[in-house]
Structure 1
Amino acid sequence: MTDIAEFALQRVALATGVELDIVDTGPKDAPALIFLHGFPESHRTWREQIGVYAKDYRVIAPDQRGYCQSSKPEGVENYTPDKIAADVFAIADALGVDRFTVIGHDWGGAIAWLVALMGGPKEAGGNGRVERLVILNAPHPYKFQQAVFDDEGQRAASQYIRDFRDPANDALIAEQGIIGMLMKAVRWERSTALTGEESALMLRNWQEPGAAMGMLNWYRATQLVVPAMGEEAERPALLDAPFPTIAVPTLVIWATGDLALRPCLIEGLDDYVADLTLVKVPDCGHFVPWEAPGAVNAAMSDWLAKTA
């Protein structure tokens, strides 16, 4: 386990109007990897990857907006996926990075899908800045919306999102912070792979002023429709329109023991990704970057070498 004090954070002001704490390590002239964490973590999602990849790559890992001590703008409208994706390109601009590989887990993966669409080849309508995409247990936006409507098991597994969005829970959040919401909505249990030291640091990050609402605003700002169980909801227009193809080489690493994101989410994924490599990690839960770092790093290293 990497020592907690090892990763130095620098404060970076972005053109998008926020300031983020960012790890920026490794050779500055090496190919850049931008790592995006998800809920409810931080740059330390990647504690088992940062040191490994900083030997050969420029490794950039922010605490994203709403998290830890990074900016937490008030208002749900400041957490829409397009604004958070814009942060990623603004990070690259601020650090002098032209092209990069984007790597995301959980919500960070959801943003990484969008960044790859925006930054794909110019001939495919992108800005040409994203070279490759790595996803770890983060559903493709079309597949997720489809599964929440068409797969009863995934709809049931996604009901916690309704709780996260419900203003009726704001009093609980104000009183108990994010831990109260986690205990109510997902019956949070600490992974056996999470050390006491890491757990204590995560708890301190959750207690930063404004962090609880900042994190939950990611859920409240998304247009994902999550019907209640048994509800006959109107089908989103997204599901009846063509969805653009991811045009950059893409590696998807999927822990099959994830209780929140079911295996149905990777079925038929190659219909939406032109160059897909899929690696399944059995007997592992949602937090695959640090629950199964050996499998993750082996898959990433092999694929990064092949697609260099």
Structure 2
Amino acid sequence: MRTRQIDLNGQGFHLYEWGQPGQPVILCLHGFPEYGGAWADLAAHLPGYHLIAPDQRGFGQSWAPPDVRDYATGKLVGDMAALLGTLDTPVTVLGHDWGAAVAYGLAFSRPALVERLIIMNGVHPAPFQTALAAGGPQTAASQYIPWLRAQGSEDALAADNFARLRALFAAHMDMAWLSGDTLTAYQTEWARPGRMRGMVNWYRASPLVVPKPGEQATDLPDLPHDRMRVPMPHLLIWGQNDTALLPESTAGLEDYCAELTRVTVPGADHWLHHQQPAQVAQVIRDWLAT
């Protein structure tokens, strides 16, 4: 693993890399509450590829502005479009959790930069908003979002050595992988000044509407179908035991995709790339080889 700093749109970003220049590039976009180094488990099983994994805006050692407006989706996508613009060719983009939102944004607005799209337990905004608005199981599972958006949530998450954050991270899922040196590394990144606020600002800036369980939402953000198409080959890898994102959150995804492949990973949940990195890497290699 190598690290370096890069300037994107006038701001500093921190990158982790595995593999060598000249090998096929996979841009790896982490979610909440991870950082670029979180891809190390998967990278170990992807020899022959050049993985580039930035700390996204607000995370780790990258730029973390305090203003919620600086976390609008267009700005987050702009960061990664600038990074892709430094490369010589379109690449495979891999997104997990919130990283999926940026990966989809690149596919929608900068398709010339994205050769293939891989999403792991992440959601396309249109099917996800449909599931959230219905007031059913996904609505109930997403009630942490209003809590994170509330004033002061970053302080509550950081208290007692990030006890609340670690509990939220675990939420009915297998977190055996987050221990020892790995946990220490995560806590180091979480503790950087302003990072907890930056991380939570992703939720605050999102236009997603989350009603209360059992209630339906009707005043929804504009999600035009024709501007949310995925024109390149798309792989969705899903840890079947995810309790934060449920299968209904991807219902109807085929309607937005020119070519979609779904693969389920049994015995894994939202954190599948930590729990079963070898199996996930094999799925990726097999799909990229087609």
- For the criterion TM > 0.5, the same-fold answer is yes
**CA positional deviation for 1:177:** 7.2
Contact 1:119 1:130 survives alignment (8 Å): yes
- 1:46 and 2:43 correspond: no
- Equivalent residue in structure 2 for 1:262, among 246, 268, 271: 246
**Aligned counterpart, 1:111:** 102
Q: Percent identity?
A: 35
The CA distance in 1 between the partners of 2:218 and 2:289, in whole Å, is: 45
Equivalent residue runs for 1:78-227 within 5 Å: 78-94=70-86, 96-120=87-111, 128-150=112-134, 152-167=136-151, 169=153, 171-173=155-157, 175=159, 179-181=163-165, 183=167, 191-227=175-211
1:73 corresponds to which residue? 65
Query: Shift of residue 256 of structure 1?
Result: 1.0
Tell me, which stretches of 5 or more residues in structure 1 are unaligned? 1-6, 121-127
Query: How large is the RMSD of aligned CA atoms in angstroms?
Result: 2.3
Deviating more after overlay: 67-76 vs 155-164: 67-76
Question: What is aligned with 1:14?
Answer: 8
**2:21 alignment partner in structure 1:** 28
State the Cα distance separating 1:298 from its structure 2 match. 1.1
Q: Hey, what's the Cα distance between the residues in 2 that align with 1:197 and 1:244?
A: 40
**SS of residue matched to 2:6:** strand
> Given that residues 135 and 214 in structure 2 are in contact (C-alpha distance below 8 angstroms), is that contact kept between their aligned partners in structure 1?
no
How far residue 142 of structure 1 moved from its aligned partner, in angstroms, is 0.4
**Contact (CA 8 Å) 1:246, 1:272: kept in 2 or not?**
yes
Alignment of 1:233-252 (within 5 A): 233-238=217-222, 244-252=228-236
Q: 1:228 to 1:176 in 2, by over 3 A?
A: farther
Deviation of 1:244 after TM superposition, in Å, equals 3.1
1:34-80 residue CA offsets vs partner (Å, 9 max, x unmatched): 00011101123211222333x32222111111111211112001111
Cα offset for 1:230?
A: 3.9
The structural deviation recorded for 1:194 is 2.6
Whether the aligned pair in 2 keeps the contact of 1:18 and 1:65 (CA below 8 Å) is no
Q: How many angstroms apart in 2 are the aligned matches of 1:170 and 1:64?
A: 18
* Alpha-carbon separation, structure 1, partners of 2:135 and 2:223: 14
Amino acid across the alignment from 1:172: A
Mapped to 2, the partners of 1:296 and 1:247 lie a distance apart of 23
Query: How far apart, CA to CA, are the structure 1 residues paired with 2:146 and 2:26?
Result: 33
**Aligned-partner SS, 1:48:** helix
- Give 1:185 deviation, angstroms: 9.3
For residues 25 and 184 of structure 1, what CA distance do their matches in structure 2 show? 29
Whether the aligned pair in 2 keeps the contact of 1:173 and 1:181 (CA below 8 Å) is yes
Question: Which structure 2 residue ranges, 5 or more long, are not aligned?
Answer: none
Q: Aligned partners of 1:168 and 1:63: how far apart in 2? A: 23
